[in-house]
Amino acid sequence: MGLLSENTTLQVLSALLLSFWLFYLYFVKYYGYWERKRIVHVPAVFPFGSLVKPVMGKTYWGLALNGVYNEYYDQPYVGLTYIRKPMILIRDPELIRLILVRDFKHFMNHLAIDTHPKDYMMWHLFSMKGQKWRDLRLKLTPAYAAAKVKTMFFLIKRSSDILLKVIDELVEVNSAVDVKNVLSRYTIDVIANCAFGLETDSLLNKESKFYEVGVESFNVKFGLLLKMFVYSAFPIFSKIYFCDFQDEKIKNFVTGVIRSTIEYREKHNISRLDFLDQLIKLRQTQRILKEGENSKDVLKNSRYGEKEGLTIEEITAETYLFFTAGYETTANTIMFCLYELACNSRIQDKVSWEVEEVLHRYDGDINYEALLEMTYMDQVISETLRRYPVFSQLSRECTHEYKFPNSRLEIDKDVGIVIPVYSLHHDPKYFPDPYTFDPDRFSPENCRNRHPYVYLPFGEGPRMCIGMRFGIMKIKMALATLIGNYQISLTPDTDVPLQFKSNSFTTLPSKPLMLVFTRRHTQAL
C-alpha cells in the first residue's frame, strides 16, 4: 500500500513537472526572436517579457519605455518581448513615418487584445482589424466631420455653463478644488449628452450612474490585469467565449441605455444632433445621411436591397468607445493644462488676455467661431499634450512580412510595433529643455522646422484619432470658461513636478490634483 502511494505521488509530481516544462517552453518560444535576427534588444524574463513592472501594473508605461529609449539612444529600433510576443520599439521618426503612413497597409492594425465576437463591447473602431476596420472607419468618418462636430457645440456650451456654476459653489466652501473629479464630471455630461442624448447632470448629481461607469471603466484592478495577461499569453481564448473582457455591470448598463434610447427614438421618430443620432442613421441606411436626404429614399435606391447598417450591439460598442475615449482623455488634458498654467502665471495671463480679447469681439459670448480664434490657447493645449500625452505609446501589428528600407531589419507577420510617444515628446533632440512648459514650441515657425513625426498625441495617418476635433473643442470650451473667470494657482501640497500613476491606461498623476481657484477682478464672461 505504501509503495503504491509513493508511486502515485511520484507520478503526480512527474506530471506537474512535465506540465510546467511544457508551459515554460510555450512561453519562451519567442524569447530568442531578436537574438536570432541579431537585433539589439532587451532580454525577456519569464513569464512577463522584457518589461516586468509595467506588465504587473507597478510602473507607468511611459517611464518604462523611456528607460529603454534612453538606454539605446544611438539605435533606430530596439527589440522587446511583451509577455511572449515579439515587439520592436521604433526610435527613428523616418521609420515611424513609414509605419503610420507610407507603408500603412503592412501596419494597419492596432496591437489590440483579440476577444471573442460575443464580447461585442470590444468590437469597436479601435480594436477592429483589416477590412472590417476600413469599412467601419469609412462609415463613421462623416459623424466626426467638422460640420457634425459644430452641430454639437450648443450641447458642450450647456455643460460648460454648469461647470462654471459648480466651480463657483465649490470655491465658496473651499478655494482648493479636486480638478480631476470636477472635470471628469464635466466631460461625462458632455459625452452623455452628445453620445447618448441624455442629460446626466453628473456635475450636480454626485451619485450619477454615468460617472460611476466612467470611473469604473478606467479602474485598473488585478482582475483586469490578469485578463490582459491571459488573453495576450493564450490567444486561443479569443476563440472560446468564457467571459467578457469588460465588467458585466458596465456592459449591461451601457447596452440597456443604448437599446432603450434607440427604441424610443425610432418609435417616436425623434432626431437629435448628437453622435447616437448619426449611428441610428447608419443602422437604417448603412451610411450617414447628407443634408436633405431621407432614409427611406436611400434604402429604396440602395444596391443592397435591404438594410445592412449597424446592429444594436455595434452601436453599443461604438458609443461606449466614444464615451470612454472622450471622457478620460479630455478630462486629463484639461487637468494637466490647468496645472501647468498654475505653475506658469505668465503663460496663464497670456491665455486670459487672449480669451478676454477674443470674447470682446463677440460681446462676451463663447461660441464656435470665438474658440477657433484662440490660437495661443491651441499652442498651450499642444504643449500640454506634449508634456502629458494621453497615451504614452502607439502600437501597431505587422500584417505581412516586412523589410525596412535601407536596413537589415526584417520582421514577420504578427510582430508588434511600439512607438514611444512619451519618449519622443521628451527627447531634447526634438524639444530642447523638454521638461520646461513652453507653448512657443508650437508657433507656426517652430512647427515647420520640426520633424512632423516626433509629436504624435493623436497618432498619425489613416488610424489617426477620429475624434480629435471633438476633443479639442471640449478642451477649449472648458479652458475659456475657467481661465476667463478664475486665476488658477497651486496649493502648498501640490507635487512639483507631478508623479505618475503606475496602474493606469492613461497618463495620470499619482494622487488627486488640488488647485486653487480665485475669482478674477475683470471677468471675460
Residues at the binding site for heme are 465
* DSSP structure class, residue 45: B
288's grid cell: 450617414
Decide if 213 contacts 182 (C-beta within 8 A). no
Residues in the chain: 525
Contact between residue 415 and residue 86 where contact means Cβ atoms under 8 Å apart:
yes
In 286-360, DSSP assigns E strands to none
Contacts 24+ apart (CB under 8 A), 267-274: 272/197, 273/151, 273/152, 273/155, 274/152, 274/155, 274/193, 274/194, 274/195, 274/196, 274/197
- Confirm if 316 and 256 have CB atoms less than 8 A apart: no
* Rounded Cα–Cα distance for residues 355 and 522 (Å): 12
Q: What is the β-pairing status of strands 486-490 and 514-519?
A: antiparallel
- 174-211 burial, b for 16+ CB within 10 Å, e for fewer? ebbbebbbbbbbbbbbbbbbbbbbbebbbbeeeebebb
Longest dimension (CA), the chain: 97
CA distance 441 to 461: 22
Query: What three-state secondary structure class fits 358?
Result: helix
Tell me how many helices (H) and strands (E) the chain has.
21, 10
Identify any residues that bridge with 516 across adjacent strands, giving them in sequence order: 176, 489
Tell me the binding residues: 465
Gap between the Cα atoms of 236 and 368, Å rounded: 49
Count the alpha carbons within 13 Å of 252 in the hemisphere toward its beta carbon.
Answer: 3
Helix or strand (DSSP H, E) at 176: strand 176-178
Which whole-number Å values give the CA distances from 5 to 1, 18, 424, in the listed order?
A: 6, 20, 62
Report the alpha-carbon distance of residue 47 to residue 69 in Å, rounded.
Answer: 23
3-class SS shares of the chain: helix, strand, coil, % to 5? 55, 10, 35
